[in-house]
């Protein structure tokens, strides 16, 4: 919302969700037309070995970078949770982001990622979905209690902003699941295109409304001060948000293995003919997670990670490749609705990929990682029991400090 402008951002969110819905169904239709059961085999049959290699690179990079971003989120959020424990020194190395990333990797993400069957993660996904609902409730509550005390930036309500293409990249990152769609499709009982379509429609509708609520409540609270990681905006002494941070950290830890499954499958298909022995299954999993963990220890700004992964990996996986495969495989006339939509997706996807990358590099998001936001500084400021004098004090302090963030 910050990058696109709030009104245009909402419209773009609905548009990206529709395109995601359409392309996910298109992807499985392409598999049915070509007689293939993986994304890689579909592209290999459609565009040959060069297409197969290109897709393999994208299909590996997207979940791999997502794993890095999940580690960043877990380290940022859970470190602030543990700092709130009474008697704990905030500078203690055992509650720092580096130690937390390493600990969560060894104790949770690595063991879960060692499963061979993605269906084993069903209960884990259910827990993650439940925690997402709790987090949404906390964000909505703070939009009411904190929002009035955070000053609004001058361009908060303009219809559109020049960085809208970057916003499409971030939204694509949020919605993409094409890289593991065939894995999920094959895990269904009696998988059919009709059953898949119903599942996708329901999932996308739920997802877009969750995203709309998150985006609206987050942006209405912080407007132009919104960070790439929304929880970076909240004050550290807010106990309700601390609980939200804990839920958020657990959610991304539980989501991490889904991405690892895809990276491992790509490696297995490219280098091992699609099958990994028990030993190589463990070795490949450990290597992928180790490299992702090391990179996430070196990077601490989430915004640029989301943007680049969105425009370079998610955009072609959502917009370009499913459309291109369907256009080449389908024998429907060019005036057929699916083909017209595929041409539109292909053109827009190419534009978003090129211009989004240029804008992400030349005009990156601000990142105030680890810094307490200025509206958290007033003495004895309470989110749950705010007097009129405190409100005046907050407003005055905000006016004084606002120049720091311009």
- More confident site: 396 or 183: 183
The backbone region for 199, taken as left when phi is positive above 0, alpha when psi lies in -120 to 50, beta otherwise, is alpha
pLDDT band at 389 (very low <50, low <70, confident <90, very high): very low
What pLDDT does 158 receive? 94
What pLDDT does 366 receive? 63
Two tokens, residue 191: 């998988």
Mean pLDDT (whole number) for 228-245: 89
Instruction: Report the SS3 class of residue 11.
Output: helix
pLDDT band at 379 (very low <50, low <70, confident <90, very high): low
Q: Which residue carries 């609206």 as its tokens?
A: 216
- More confident site: 406 or 139: 139
- More confident site: 34 or 397: 34
What pLDDT does 281 receive? 93
Mean pLDDT (whole number) for 216-234: 89
Mean pLDDT (whole number) for 94-119: 89
- The whole-angstrom separation of Cα 250 and Cα 23 is 30
- Per-residue pLDDT at 345 exceeds 80: yes
What pLDDT does 365 receive? 65
Nearest partner of 226 among 142, 100, 350, judged by Cα = 142
pLDDT band at 242 (very low <50, low <70, confident <90, very high): very high
Contacts of 293 (CB under 8 A, 6+ apart): 71, 101, 102, 105
Q: 20-30, pLDDT tens digit by residue?
A: 999 999 999 99
- 162-177: string of b/e by CB count within 10 Å (b at 16+)? ebbbbbbbbbbbbbbb
pLDDT band at 129 (very low <50, low <70, confident <90, very high): confident
Rg of the chain over all Cα atoms, to the nearest angstrom: 22
What pLDDT does 388 receive? 34
Q: What is the mean pLDDT of the chain?
A: 85
Least confident of 31-40, 66-75, 160-169, 377-386: 377-386
What pLDDT does 391 receive? 36
Q: 255-275, pLDDT tens digit by residue?
A: 899 889 989 988 998 888 878
- Per-residue pLDDT at 203 exceeds 80: yes
pLDDT band at 91 (very low <50, low <70, confident <90, very high): confident
- Per-residue pLDDT at 135 exceeds 80: yes
pLDDT band at 11 (very low <50, low <70, confident <90, very high): very high
Mean pLDDT (whole number) for 191-212: 93
Mean pLDDT (whole number) for 236-263: 91
Contacts of 392 (CB under 8 A, 6+ apart): none
- The whole-angstrom separation of Cα 114 and Cα 285 is 7
- The whole-angstrom separation of Cα 97 and Cα 103 is 10
Least confident of 72-81, 160-169, 270-279, 376-385: 376-385
Mean pLDDT (whole number) for 103-110: 93
Mean pLDDT (whole number) for 378-399: 40
Query: Which whole-number Å values give the CA distances from 150 to 80, 124, 234, 273, 303, in the listed order?
Result: 21, 36, 11, 56, 21
Q: Could you say which DSSP state residue 152 is in?
A: P
Mean pLDDT (whole number) for 160-186: 87
Contacts of 350 (CB under 8 A, 6+ apart): 319, 320
pLDDT band at 289 (very low <50, low <70, confident <90, very high): very high
Q: Distance between terminal CA atoms of the chain?
A: 18
What pLDDT does 180 receive? 80
- Per-residue pLDDT at 368 exceeds 80: no
What pLDDT does 393 receive? 38
- Per-residue pLDDT at 324 exceeds 60: yes
Q: Could you say which DSSP state residue 364 is in?
A: P
- The whole-angstrom separation of Cα 58 and Cα 311 is 11
- The whole-angstrom separation of Cα 320 and Cα 164 is 19
Contacts of 60 (CB under 8 A, 6+ apart): 262, 263, 266, 267
**HSE-CB of 85 using CA atoms within 13 angstroms:** 13
- The whole-angstrom separation of Cα 306 and Cα 334 is 35
């Amino acid at each position: 919302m910050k990058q696109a402008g709030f009104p245009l951002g909402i419209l773009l969110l609905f548009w990206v969700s529709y395109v995601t819905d359409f392309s996910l169904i298109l992807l499985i239709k392409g598999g049915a037309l070509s007689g293939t059961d993986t994304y890689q085999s579909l592209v290999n049959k459609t565009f040959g070995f060069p297409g197969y290699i290109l897709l393999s690179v994208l299909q590996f990079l997207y979940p791999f970078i997502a794993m890095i971003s999940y580690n960043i989120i877990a380290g940022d959020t859970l470190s602030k949770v543990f700092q709130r424990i009474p008697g704990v020194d905030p500078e203690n190395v055992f509650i720092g982001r580096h130690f937390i990333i390493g600990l969560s990797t060894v104790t949770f993400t690595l063991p879960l990622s060692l499963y061979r069957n993605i269906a084993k993660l069903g209960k884990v996904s259910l827990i993650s979905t439940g925690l997402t609902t709790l987090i949404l409730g906390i964000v909505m509550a703070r939009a009411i209690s904190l929002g009035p005390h955070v000053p609004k930036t001058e361009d908060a309500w303009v219809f559109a902003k020049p960085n809208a293409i970057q916003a499409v990249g971030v939204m694509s990152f949020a919605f993409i699941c094409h890289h593991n769609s065939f894995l999920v499709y094959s895990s269904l009982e009696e998988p059919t295109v009709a059953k898949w379509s119903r599942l996708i429609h329901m999932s996308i509708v739920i997802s877009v409304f969750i995203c709309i609520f998150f985006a609206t409540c987050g942006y209405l609270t912080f407007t132009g001060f919104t960070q790439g990681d929304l929880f970076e905006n909240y004050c550290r002494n807010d106990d309700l948000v601390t609980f939200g941070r804990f839920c958020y950290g657990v959610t991304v830890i539980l989501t991490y293995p889904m991405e690892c499954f895809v990276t491992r499958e790509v490696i297995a298909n490219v280098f091992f003919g699609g099958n990994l022995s028990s030993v190589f299954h463990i070795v490949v999993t450990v290597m992928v997670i180790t490299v992702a963990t090391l990179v996430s220890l070196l990077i601490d700004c989430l915004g640029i990670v989301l943007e680049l992964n969105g425009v370079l990996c998610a955009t072609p996986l959502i917009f370009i490749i499913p459309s291109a495969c369907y256009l080449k495989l389908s024998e429907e006339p060019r005036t057929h609705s699916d083909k017209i939509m595929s041409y539109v997706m292909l053109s827009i996807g190419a534009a978003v990929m090129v211009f989004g990358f240029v804008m992400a590099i030349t005009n990156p998001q601000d990142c105030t990682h680890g810094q307490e936001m200025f509206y958290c500084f007033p003495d004895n400021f309470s989110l749950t029991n705010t007097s009129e004098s405190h409100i005046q004090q907050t407003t005055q302090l905000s006016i004084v400090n606002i120049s720091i963030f311009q």
